[in-house]
Structures are given as C-alpha cells and as structure tokens.
Amino acid sequence: MSIETCPLSIEDIQSELEEIREIAAKNNTKKMFEKALSLIDLTTLNSTDTVSSVAAFTEKVNQFPAAFPGISNVAAICVYPNMAHTVKSSLKVSNVKIAAVAGGFPSSMTFTKLKIEEAQLAVSAGANEIDIVLPLWAFLEGHFETCISEISGIKKAIGDAHLKVILESGVLNVDQIWQASILAIGAGADFIKTSTGKLPQAASPEAAFVMCLAIKQHFEETDQKIGFKPAGGIVTPEDAILYLTIVQEILGDQWLTPELFRIGASRLANNLLEKITGKTVKHF
C-alpha cells in the first residue's frame, strides 16, 4: 500500500505558519484562554502515580466548578489504563471524559493481541476514550497494512469509546506525518494526536499544520469530522492559543469543541487560569 506525500513542502508550511502566528498573537484574549482550558485533557502519566494520587488529582477536577464559577472545566482526565477505574469511582462532575492511554503506551512495542486486550480492559474499567500509539516499528519500514490492521482491530474492540491515535510526530518528517495521518484516519481513528510527551521531540506547529490539512482533506472527501489533539510540551497559554489558531484557520471554528479538539497537558491548566483570573493559581 502506498500513501501520497504531503501536498505542501516544509517551506510552504512554515510560510503559512508565519501568518497564523500573527493571527494567534491577536487571539491571546481571556475568551480564548477560557476556550483553551475547556479543551484540555488534564493528564497524569507518571511512574509514581498511585490510586491515592490519581483520586486526589480527580478531586481537583471535582472542586473546579466551586473554585472557579463561570469558567468551563477541563474536557477530560487522562491516565494510565490501570487508573481508569480510580478516576471513574472518584469523578463527580459531569461532562468530563475519562481517557486512558493503552496499547503498549508509550512505545507500542508489544503484541497486537495484548494491545487490544489492554484497550478493552481500560474501557471496562471506565475509560470512554483510548489513546494509543501508532506502531512506529512497522510504519517506519513501510508496513502500512500492519499499522492499519492493528488500529482497526483496537477500534473494533473498544466499541463506542473514542480512539485517539498518537503519531509521535516529533520523530517523523513532513511526508511521514502526512502519511501517518491519512493512515490512522483511514483505519478508524476518531482523533489523531501528535505525541506521547515521553520523547524529547513533542508537538510542533508544523506537525499540527500537516495533521489538520489531512483532517481537512478527509472531511472534504467524506464529510466526516476527525478530531485533533496536540500534546507534549505545551505549557504556556501562548503556545496553546497558537494550536487553537492553527485549527481555527485550517478547519474552522466548528472544530473548537471538546468533541473535535483537545490539548494534552499537565502544567498548562494552572498557567491558563492565571491568565484568566489575573492571580497566581495552583489549583491542579
């Protein structure tokens, strides 16, 4: 199976991004900071996570409406699969999803059968969103059918749960990011996501641009909307707004909803709250 190359060169992409950066600078407003906060997958993926720490993490989300009345809560809590049940049993607020990484996260270096079972177990434990990693070991050698079979197998196994496929875009070139995006979407991804956050190379505006172009092409061809999630190293409010603006400029305002856009982050939420409230905030 062959997949076409990106329709734009890296030079063209960077030129387009210069214009988008100018627009993003004007988008650094309280309204947009609040929008960004409402699109966060609040994430804890530490080797030191415990049932107690994840329950406490979830409780901060529970307390958010009382602590910050009038400001929308985060979109989801993202944890390791064995912690999905802890979030489910602790979460008291509505409209906050439970996301779990699965499928041999973060390397995807295990057997497909185990990836499928792990994803199913995470859903059974309470996750309604599953984040998996594209099997780079197969993708980088051009074994696209292996990647498609694995993604589609996991998607089928998790039923109505949403599937986010992480491309690990920081280790891919522009053409590879395009190819991986088209592949993942075709295999059944509900979202495509930039990075695990576990490698030095994380999300980049260039990767976001290419992935959004792929989503746009798919929408124009099929009328199906696929979500986008930048993740990894997004810490400042200004960075978050840049990604919102990329999505806004390529896909439109209709994508700026939790159903179609998320930001994977751990430290970003407090930084956004400081911009919104004008105070030092250590809530999350």
pLDDT value of position 223: 97
* Position 1 pLDDT exceeds 60: no
Average confidence score pLDDT of the chain:
96
The 10s digit of each residue's pLDDT in 39-90 is: 999 999 999 999 999 999 999 999 999 999 999 999 999 999 999 999 999 9
CA 152 – CA 163 distance, rounded (Å): 10
* Position 177 pLDDT exceeds 60: yes
155-171: average pLDDT: 97
CA 241 – CA 249 distance, rounded (Å): 12
Q: What percent of the chain has pLDDT over 70?
A: 99
pLDDT value of position 283: 87
pLDDT value of position 80: 98
DSSP string, 122-146: HHHTT-SEEEEE--HHHHTTT-HHH
What's the one-letter identity of residue 119? A
pLDDT value of position 3: 73
14-32: average pLDDT: 97
* Position 226 pLDDT exceeds 70: yes
Q: What percent of the chain has pLDDT over 90?
A: 95
pLDDT value of position 249: 98
Instruction: Look at 125-129, 246-250, 265-269, 279-283 and tell me which has the smallest mean pLDDT.
Output: 279-283
* Position 2 pLDDT exceeds 60: no
CB atoms within 10 A of CB 267: 13
What's the one-letter identity of residue 145? E
pLDDT band at 27 (very low <50, low <70, confident <90, very high): very high
* Position 281 pLDDT exceeds 90: no
CB atoms within 10 A of CB 282: 7
92-117: average pLDDT: 97
Residues known to be catalytic: 131, 193, 229
pLDDT value of position 146: 97
pLDDT band at 4 (very low <50, low <70, confident <90, very high): confident
Domains recognised in the chain with CATH numbers:
10-277 (3.20.20.70)
CA 273 – CA 284 distance, rounded (Å): 10
Tell me the two tokens of residue 157. 């196994």
pLDDT band at 253 (very low <50, low <70, confident <90, very high): very high
pLDDT value of position 266: 85
* Position 274 pLDDT exceeds 80: yes
